[in-house]
Amino acid sequence: MNKPASSSINIQDPFFYQLRKDGRMVHVYLISGKRLTGILKRFDRFAIVLENLNQEQLVYKHAIASISPVPVGDERRLPENG
CB 38 within 8 A of CB 79: no
CA distance 64 to 47: 9
pLDDT of residue 27: 97
Structural domains in the chain? Answer: 9-71 (2.30.30.100)
pLDDT of residue 25: 96
SS3 4: coil
CA distance 54 to 50: 10
pLDDT of residue 67: 97
CB 28 within 8 A of CB 59: yes
pTM for this predicted structure: 0.79
pLDDT of residue 56: 97
Those residues of the chain that have pLDDT short of 70 are 1-7, 75-82
